[in-house]
C-alpha cells in the first residue's frame, strides 16, 4: 500500500508541476547538490516473456537504490506493447508498476514507442500515468520530459509542444541546470535522416538559446555520448533491459546513468553491472570507427544458380579506422558437409592506424548442396584484447528462374484453387530461410500464371500450428513481419527502381506500395483482388494483380521480370522464408529471381 501511494504521489507530482509551469510567476528553489539516475528501454524481450520485466532492469533498480538516487527518470519503452489485446497491455503495465515498487524513491516515466503506438495506447498512458509531456523542478534545476511518439506524426515534436517547451525554457532560464528527456535520439542523423524529424530545426535552437545542460534519450539499445552541439550535451542511454547487441566496445552493454549535479558541473557516470565508467566509455567517434571498420571488412554479394558449379572470388579491403594498431584474423569457414570448398581458409594481418589492405579468397560451389552456408569470421584485436568477434553467413543470392504460363481459362479469386490452371501447374520450387540457415521449415507452394488482364498468384502455405498463428493488427499497411503473411515483389523493368510490393496476412489484412525511383510510396492504393482462406493444415493466398496498375504492357512471350516472395511464419520459433535469397534487405532487387513469360 505504501509503494502504491508513492507511485500515485509521483503522478500527482506530474500534474502539479505542469500546473505550476503554466503559472505566470513560478519560483525555482535555491540550488543545492544532488544525485539522480537515468535509464531507458527496460521493456521485455518478447515471446515467451511478453509481460515479465527483465531481471537486468530489476538489478538496475537495486543499484540505483544503493546509490541513493533522489529520483529516477525512465526514458521510454517501459513495456513490450504493440498489441491489440487490451488485457495483455493492461497486464504489462501492471507488471511494470509492480516491478517499480522496488524503487525506494520516486521515478518519472517518459513515453516510448512501445508504450504509445496508437490512439488507444495513448489514452491508456494518460489514464494510468498522466500527461504525455511534463516538467518538474528539483533543488534549483528544471527537468523537461518531451513526447516524441504522437501517433499522428511520430518522431516530431509538434508545434503546440514546441511552444510549450519555449515557454518552459523562458520561465526557468535562471535554473542552475536544465535537463531534457525524450525517448528517441532525434538529433542523430544516422538514425533519423533529414526530413524524418524536426529536432534540429525547431527544438535544438531553443535548447541552445536557453543553455540546456544535457539531453537524454534511449530507443537505441546502447550507450553513446554524442557530439556536443552548440554547448548542449547529448546522450543515448538504452540499456535498461531490452535485447541488446553483442559488441560492448560499440556501446552494447546493459547500464544506467548516475547524474551528480554539483556547483561546478553536472557529472555523469555510466554504471555497468559491478562497474562504474566515465561518460566517454563509448563515444560517437568510437561508434563511427567500429562502423567504418565493419563496412571495410564486409564482402560484396555474389550470385549462384542451382545446378551450376562455379568458383567465386571474395575480396575485402579492411581499413584500420582506430587510433591504435590492430590485428585482423579473417577466415572463411565452409562446412565439410556442404557443397562449398575453400582451399585457403584463414589469413591474419596487422594494420597501423589509417592503413588498409586487400584480402582475397577463392571459394567453389558444386551447384547442388547450398546448406549449410559458409561463414565469414572476423576477429579484431587491439592491445591483445578481442574488441570485435563477428561471424556472418556469406552474402550471396540464388538466381532462380520461373516460367509463367498463360492461364488455361477464367480464374475466380476465392482461395480454393479449383481451376485447371492451378491443378495443372508445377510449384515454383522449394523456399529457404532468409537467414541462410537452411531450407524452409514449412512448405510453401507458389504458383503463377497470367492472361490478357491479370497476373495471378497463388500461395499454398502449409502450417502445423494453425492455432498459434498471429494477427497483431487489422489495419492496412501494418508491419507485416509481425504477422503470418505472404509478401511478393514485382519489378517489371528489372532496374531495382520501379518495384511493386503486395502482401496479405493469413487473416486477410493487405499491404501494398510502389517504389518509383526506389522511393517507397505507401499512399499508393491500387485496386487488386486478393483472398486469404484458412484451413486446418495451413492457409491459401490467391491474388489477381491488374497489369494496368503496374504501369506496364501485357507481357509478350519471352518478357522477363524480376520477382521474389517471402513468407513470415510466427509459430515458435518464428521463421522468415524466401523463394530467392535476398541480399542485405528483403526489398533488394539484387536477390530477386527471374520470371519469364511464355
At residue 495, the pLDDT reads: 77
At residue 49, the pLDDT reads: 78
Please tell me the pTM assigned to this model: 0.67
Distances (CA, A) of 101 to 63, 95, 250, 397, 593: 14, 10, 33, 51, 55
Distances (CA, A) of 189 to 239, 282, 499: 21, 18, 27
Q: Is the pLDDT of residue 7 over 90?
A: no
CA 162 to the chain's CA centroid: 27
Please report which confidence band the pLDDT of residue 588 belongs to, taking 50, 70 and 90 as the band edges: low
Q: Is the pLDDT of residue 188 over 90?
A: yes
Q: pLDDT by residue (tens digit) across 203-226?
A: 999 999 999 999 999 999 999 999
Average pLDDT for residues 500-521, to the nearest whole number?
88
Q: Which backbone phi and psi does 576 adopt, to 5 degrees?
A: -110, 120
Please report which confidence band the pLDDT of residue 518 belongs to, taking 50, 70 and 90 as the band edges: confident
The Cα–Cα gap between 254 and 243 comes to 9
How many residues are there in the chain? Answer: 598
Report the 10 Å Cβ neighbour count for 390: 14
Residue 303's SS3 state is: strand
Q: pLDDT by residue (tens digit) across 69-123?
A: 999 999 999 999 999 899 999 999 999 999 999 999 999 999 999 999 999 999 9
Q: Is the pLDDT of residue 56 over 50?
A: yes
In the structure grid, which three cell numbers stand for residue 485, read together? 503473411
Q: Which backbone phi and psi does 343 adopt, to 5 degrees?
A: -70, -55
Q: Is the pLDDT of residue 484 over 60?
A: yes
Any idea what DSSP says for residue 166?
H
At residue 101, the pLDDT reads: 97
The Cα–Cα gap between 470 and 506 comes to 9
Q: Is the pLDDT of residue 319 over 90?
A: yes
The Cα–Cα gap between 348 and 36 comes to 47
Average pLDDT for residues 429-454, to the nearest whole number?
92
Average pLDDT for residues 475-501, to the nearest whole number?
83
Please report which confidence band the pLDDT of residue 276 belongs to, taking 50, 70 and 90 as the band edges: low
At residue 305, the pLDDT reads: 83
571 or 199: which leads in pLDDT = 199
Q: pLDDT by residue (tens digit) across 217-258?
A: 999 999 999 999 999 999 999 999 999 999 999 999 999 999
Q: pLDDT by residue (tens digit) across 370-390?
A: 889 899 999 999 998 999 999
In terms of Cβ atoms closer than 10 Å to its own Cβ (0-12, 13-18, 19+), residue 24 is exposed
Residues with Cβ within 8 Å of residue 330, at least 6 apart in sequence: 297, 316, 318, 346, 347, 348, 349, 359, 376, 377, 378, 379
Percentage of the chain beyond pLDDT 70 is 93
Any idea what DSSP says for residue 467?
G
At residue 28, the pLDDT reads: 61
The Cα–Cα gap between 49 and 38 comes to 24
At residue 25, the pLDDT reads: 36
Q: Is the pLDDT of residue 395 over 90?
A: no
The Cα–Cα gap between 16 and 256 comes to 27
Average pLDDT for residues 137-143, to the nearest whole number?
97
At residue 8, the pLDDT reads: 42
28-32, 121-125, 195-199: the lowest-pLDDT one:
28-32
Report the 10 Å Cβ neighbour count for 393: 14
Q: Is the pLDDT of residue 531 over 90?
A: yes
Residues with Cβ within 8 Å of residue 189, at least 6 apart in sequence: none
Determine which helix (DSSP H) or strand (DSSP E) holds 97, and give its type and residue range: helix 86-100
At residue 590, the pLDDT reads: 62
The Cα–Cα gap between 328 and 575 comes to 33
Q: Is the pLDDT of residue 401 over 80?
A: yes
Amino acid at each position: 500500500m505504501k509503494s502504491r501511494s508513492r507511485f500515485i504521489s509521483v503522478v500527482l507530482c506530474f500534474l502539479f508541476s505542469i500546473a505550476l509551469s503554466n503559472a505566470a510567476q513560478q519560483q525555482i528553489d535555491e540550488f543545492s547538490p544532488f544525485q539522480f539516475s537515468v535509464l531507458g528501454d527496460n521493456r521485455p524481450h518478447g515471446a515467451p516473456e511478453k509481460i515479465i520485466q527483465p531481471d537486468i532492469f530489476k538489478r538496475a533498480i537495486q543499484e540505483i537504490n544503493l546509490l541513493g538516487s533522489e529520483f529516477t527518470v525512465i526514458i521510454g519503452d517501459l513495456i513490450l506493447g504493440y498489441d491489440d489485446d487490451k488485457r495483455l497491455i493492461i497486464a504489462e503495465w501492471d507488471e511494470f508498476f509492480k516491478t517499480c515498487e522496488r524503487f525506494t524513491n520516486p521515478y518519472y516515466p517518459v513515453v516510448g514507442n512501445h508504450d504509445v503506438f496508437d490512439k488507444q495506447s495513448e489514452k491508456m498512458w494518460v489514464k494510468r500515468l498522466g500527461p504525455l509531456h511534463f516538467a518538474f523542478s528539483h533543488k534549483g534545476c528544471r527537468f523537461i520530459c518531451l513526447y516524441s511518439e504522437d501517433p499522428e506524426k511520430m518522431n516530431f515534436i509538434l508545434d503546440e509542444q514546441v511552444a510549450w517547451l519555449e515557454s518552459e525554457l523562458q520561465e526557468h532560464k535562471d535554473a542552475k541546470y536544465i535537463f531534457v528527456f525524450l525517448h528517441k535520439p532525434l538529433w542523430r542523423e544516422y538514425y533519423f535522416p533529414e526530413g524524418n524529424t524536426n529536432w534540429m530545426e525547431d527544438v535544438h535552437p531553443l535548447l541552445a538559446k536557453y543553455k540546456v545542460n544535457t539531453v537524454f534519450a534511449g530507443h537505441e539499445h546502447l550507450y553513446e555520448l554524442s557530439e556536443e552541439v552548440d554547448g548542449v550535451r547529448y546522450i543515448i542511454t538504452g540499456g535498461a533491459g531490452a535485447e541488446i547487441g553483442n559488441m560492448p566496445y560499440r556501446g552494447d552493454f546493459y547500464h544506467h546513468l548516475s547524474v551528480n549535479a554539483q556547483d561546478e558541473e553536472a557529472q555523469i557516470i555510466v554504471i555497468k553491472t559491478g562497474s562504474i565508467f566515465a561518460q566517454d566509455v563509448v563515444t560517437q567517434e568510437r561508434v563511427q570507427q567500429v562502423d567504418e571498420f565493419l563496412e571495410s571488412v564486409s564482402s560484396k554479394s555474389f550470385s549462384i544458380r542451382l545446378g551450376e558449379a562455379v568458383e567465386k572470388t571474395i575480396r575485402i579491403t579492411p581499413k584500420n579506422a582506430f587510433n591504435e594498431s590492430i590485428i585482423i584474423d579473417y577466415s572463411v569457414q565452409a562446412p565439410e558437409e556442404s557443397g562449398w570448398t575453400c582451399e585457403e581458409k584463414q589469413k591474419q594481418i596487422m594494420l597501423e592506424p589509417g592503413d588498409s589492405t586487400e584480402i582475397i579468397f577463392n571459394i567453389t560451389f558444386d551447384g547442388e548442396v547450398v546448406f549449410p552456408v559458409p561463414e565469414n569470421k572476423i576477429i579484431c584485436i587491439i592491445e591483445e584484447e578481442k574488441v570485435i568477434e563477428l561471424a556472418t553467413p556469406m552474402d550471396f543470392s540464388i538466381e532462380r528462374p520461373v516460367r509463367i504460363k498463360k492461364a488455361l481459362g477464367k480464374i475466380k479469386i476465392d482461395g480454393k484453387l479449383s481451376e485447371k490452371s492451378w491443378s495443372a501447374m508445377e510449384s515454383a520450387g522449394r523456399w529457404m530461410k532468409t537467414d541462410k540457415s537452411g531450407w524452409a521449415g514449412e512448405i510453401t507452394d507458389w504458383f503463377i500464371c497470367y492472361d490478357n488482364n491479370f497476373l495471378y498468384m497463388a500461395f499454398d502455405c502449409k502450417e502445423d500450428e494453425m492455432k498459434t498463428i498471429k494477427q497483431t493488427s487489422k489495419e492496412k499497411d501494418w508491419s507485416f513481419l509481425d504477422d503470418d503473411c505472404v509478401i511478393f515483389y514485382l519489378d517489371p523493368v528489372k532496374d531495382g527502381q520501379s518495384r511493386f510490393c503486395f502482401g496479405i496476412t493469413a487473416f486477410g489484412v493487405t499491404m501494398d506500395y510502389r517504389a518509383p525511383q526506389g522511393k517507397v510510396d505507401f499512399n499508393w492504393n491500387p485496386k487488386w483482388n486478393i483472398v486469404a482462406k484458412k484451413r486446418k493444415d495451413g492457409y491459401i493466398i490467391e491474388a489477381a494483380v491488374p497489369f494496368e496498375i503496374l504501369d506496364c504492357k501485357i507481357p509478350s512471350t519471352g518478357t522477363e521480370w524480376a520477382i521474389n516472395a517471402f513468407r513470415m511464419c510466427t509459430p515458435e520459433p518464428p521463421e522468415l522464408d524466401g523463394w530467392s535469397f535476398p541480399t542485405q534487405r528483403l526489398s533488394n532487387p539484387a536477390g530477386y529471381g527471374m520470371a519469364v513469360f511464355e
